[in-house]
Structure 1
C-alpha cells in the first residue's frame, strides 16, 4: 500500500508541535518515499534549529546557497512543495536508533531556544544569512515537508492509497 503525502501548512510553532503530538498519540504510517520515524524527523528539525542559535554554523560552499536562495527559498516562503531532493549533511542527519519520545523532546527544547533567541540567527546552512522572519518561515516549511510523509493512522482511507 502506497500512501500520498499530507498537505500541511504551519504558521507557528504551536501548530507544528500539535501535529507532532497528534502523530505521537495516534500512531502513523509512512507515505510514499517516507522513511524516517517521527523521532528521526524531530531530531533532524531540532539540529537545524540548534544551528540557528549556535555560535558555529557551517554554510554550504558558494554558489550552492545563492542557487538555493534564489530558486527554492521563494517557493518555501510561499509554502509550495518542491521536487528538490537533497542528501542531508551528516551533521543534520538523525540517529538510526532513536525513539519518537527522544526526538520530540529534543525538538521541543530546540523550539524553545529558537523562539527565545535574541537578535539574528546564525547563517542558514543552505541559504546563508536570512532575516529572522525568513528563518522562521523557512523552518515552518521544513516541518511541513518532513511531517507530510507521516500519515496519522486514523486518517488512512481508500482515497489516500495509490
Structure 2
C-alpha cells in the first residue's frame, strides 16, 4: 500500500468513527434566544440533567471557560489581540457571528492569558460560577472592557456574544 492509499483509508476510517452517534444519547438543545435570561433558563435545565461532553474539555473546564469569558468582559481580558486585528479581522468576525446569531470557534482554545483550566473540579460548582457571572453581567453598570479579539462591544453585543459562546460549546454536549 502506498502513502496516498494509506492516508485515504485512514482518513475514511477516522471519518466513519467520528460520525457514529453515541447510543442512547441526544444533543443538548441550544439556548433559544440570545439573551442572558434565556441562557440562565438553559443552565437551569443543564443542572437538572445528566450531561456529558464529547470534546477535549470536561464539563468543569467548559463551564469555567465560559464563566471566565463573562467575568473578563467586566474586569478585562488578560491579553488583547492587536488594535489592527481587533479593528479588522476581529470586528468582522463578530459582525458575521452576530448576523448569523451563532459563532464557531475552537472549542478547546483557552482565553489568551487566562489561567490554565484544571482537569479536576466539581462541574456543578463551575456551572454555578457561570450562572453567577451572567447574573453579575446583567447587574453590571460600569464600563465593559474590550473583548480580546472583537474589541469594543456594547452591553447588548456582549450579551449576544456570551450566549453565542455558550451555544457553540453546547455543540459538544449530550444528554444521556
Do structure 1's residue 114 and structure 2's residue 132 form an aligned pair? no
Deviations 1:84-117 (A, max 9, x none): 4373225065321121112112112211211111
Structure-2 residue corresponding to 1:152: 175
Aligned partners of 2:28, 2:103: CA distance in 1, in Å? 11
CA distance 1:18–1:40, shift in 2 (3 Å):
farther
Whose RCO is larger (CA < 8 A, sep 6+)? 1
Aligned residue runs from structure 1 range 43-122, under 5 A = 43-54=64-75, 58-65=79-86, 66-70=88-92, 72-77=93-98, 78-82=100-104, 84-85=105-106, 87-88=109-110, 89-91=112-114, 94-122=117-145
State how many pairs are aligned. 149
Larger Rg: 2
Deviations 1:66-95 (A, max 9, x none): 31221x21232132343x437322506532
Structure-1 residue corresponding to 2:53: 30
Cα drift, residue 5 of structure 1: 5.8
Which blocks of at least 5 consecutive residues in structure 1 are unaligned?
A: 154-162
Q: Which runs of 4+ in 1 moved over 3 A?
A: 1-7, 55-58
Deviations 1:112-151 (A, max 9, x none): 2111111431111111111221111111111110122111
